Amino acid sequence: MDSALPPEPYWPVEWVEDAGRQSHVPRGQLRLLDQRQLPHRTVYETYTDHAAVAQAIRDMVVRGAPAIGAAGAYGYVLGVRNGIPREQVYVQLLQSRPTAVNLEWALRQLHEAGNIAADKLLHKAHALLERERRHNWAMAEHGAQAILGDARLRVADRPLRVLHHCNTGALATAGWGTALGVVRRLHQLHPHLLVHVNETRPRLQGARLTCWELGQWGIPHRLQVDGAVAHLMSTGQVDAVLVGADRVTADASVANKIGTLTVAVCAAHYGVPLYVCAPLSTVDVQTVRGADIRIEERDAAEVVNPHGSAPDSRSSFAPVGTPVYNPAFDVTPAALITGGIVTECGVARHLERLHQNAEHSGMAEQLARWKVPGA
Ligand SMILES: CSC[C@@H](O)[C@@H](O)C(=O)COP(=O)(O)O
């Protein structure tokens, strides 16, 4: 496999340099693809201050754990460039969304670098994004090989059928993708593939974004409502489940988009292997148990109106004023992750290999404390 990540037709998070001469003050702006408008409109917005970036993350202009990490890093650069106190910039960005650890991880890389100049911070943000993209690519290879090597998944006379929840493609990662990155690589190696796409209520990341990306990549797919999962599995229509993660704790619990736990329970019940695909930047060993993860609760409008705007009597599914509970994520315990956790260093069933390959010295120590399913 070529080690260079192929270019994407679109970059959801990108720093755009201003024309003109270089200076020690980083010129340029952050450009985000407004994911709220997909699949029908491809609109880019530009950002020159950190508060607007924090708002864009909150409003899900950009979403997906690694992508909000990258956007947050560039937001931090903008804040420092604009002379705002670093602590204020850090806290404001950090508070934009609480569950995905990648945002905190990326912000800390910059905030803990000390009082360095904004142009040096910009280099760090670029390096961070490049590294995430490379890791996605490595993860795709590990995941695809693991699935092709999984004896339970050897099918000859029909497509290999994988189920995916939410969106974990290039849009969610600012690069190749995590779980969908594995799907992309799998499709290159084994084109006889069908992806069952969960629509992913309430924000419909599956229907709007995953179907859009799979369509661009030419990967066969079919959309279903989230409630169809048990039926699909009970009728033998799913060979494996692939999902991403927003935070993986020390006990290998996985926070991911609401509905993942339902998929995992069904998969375990019907003996369908479930793979979680996440870079090590999503592993948070400081959080010991899944129950300790802070789950973001979002606005009621998202549940009663698929476009998320304040519902009126015409746009609301439910009677106006209906009380709503809208947790954005749930937590799947390690016992239900029956395939493994795919990272850029290998599949977490094989802990020894993870240690050997861990790129960063500190990571090996962290992984030693990480209890991995099946290890
Ligand atoms: C590579 S993305 C992994 C997760 O971030 C993804 O599965 C997810 O839950 C995204 O949630 P979102 O609320 O759209 O940001």
Is the minimum distance from the CB of 92 to ligand 1 under 6 angstroms? no
CA of 117 from ligand 1 middle (Å) equals 32
Amino acid at 309: S
Residue 363 has pLDDT above 80, yes or no: no
For residues 248 and 213, the answer to whether their CB atoms sit within 8 Å is no
pLDDT of residue 375: 43
CB atoms near residue 14 (< 10 Å): 19
Residue 156 Cα to ligand 1 middle (Å): 32
What spacing in Å lies between the alpha carbon of 246 and ligand 1's midpoint?
6
Q: Which of 3-7, 133-137, 216-220, 239-243 has the lowest mean pLDDT?
A: 3-7
Complex ipTM, two decimals? Answer: 0.98
Lowest mean pLDDT: which of 156-160, 181-185, 370-374? 370-374
Ligand 1 touching residue 338 (CB < 6 A): no
pLDDT tens digit sequence for 38-78:
999 999 999 999 999 999 999 999 999 999 999 999 999 99
Entry pTM: 0.93
CA pair distance 120, 308, nearest whole angstrom:
38
pLDDT at 358: 60
Chain segment 264-285, per-residue pLDDT in tens: 999 999 999 999 999 989 999 8
More reliable by pLDDT, 19 or 49: 49
Helix ranges (H only) for the chain are 50-58, 65-81, 86-94, 101-111, 118-149, 170-173, 179-189, 205, 211-217, 229-234, 260-269, 301-304, 351-357, 361-368
State the pLDDT confidence band at 352, using cuts at 50, 70 and 90: low
Q: Which residue among 136, 137, 168, 180 has the greatest number of ligand 1 atoms within 8 angstroms of its CB, and so is best to mutate?
A: 168
